[in-house]
Structure 1
Amino acid sequence: MNTRNAYFDNAKFVLIFLVVFGHMISPYRTDSNGMLSIYHFIFIFHMPVFILLAGYFS
């Protein structure tokens, strides 16, 4: 059986954390432009990276 690669496990952890963080700041995104920029930055790339990682392991 193959061993797990810690790089991909850590990448998935960071992406999951960014999803949770993005949902936590969503009520505050209308209060400031900085929060809105952070929110948009997170949600622009996290789903495509999840799809790429899932495709790599399928």
Structure 2
Amino acid sequence: MRRHESTPTPSRYVSIGSAADRASVSKDTIRRMIAAGELHAYRFRGQIRIAIEDIDSAMRPVR
């Protein structure tokens, strides 16, 4: 089976708590971002995980 070259493979997935710590926001903010579709999340065996790359790309510089 051939893997699609255009699809990036995230190097690591983290919990909602770890994502909140990385972005310096609350867990509720991460949950709201997931619900709003601003942040992609994945369910692994009943636990929600977020790719570090998705957390970093959700953060934008202030203009």
TM-score by length of structure 2 reads 0.27
TM-score by length of structure 1 reads 0.28
Greater radius of gyration (CA): 1
Report the structure, 1 or 2, having the larger strand content. 2
Report the structure, 1 or 2, having the larger helix content. 1
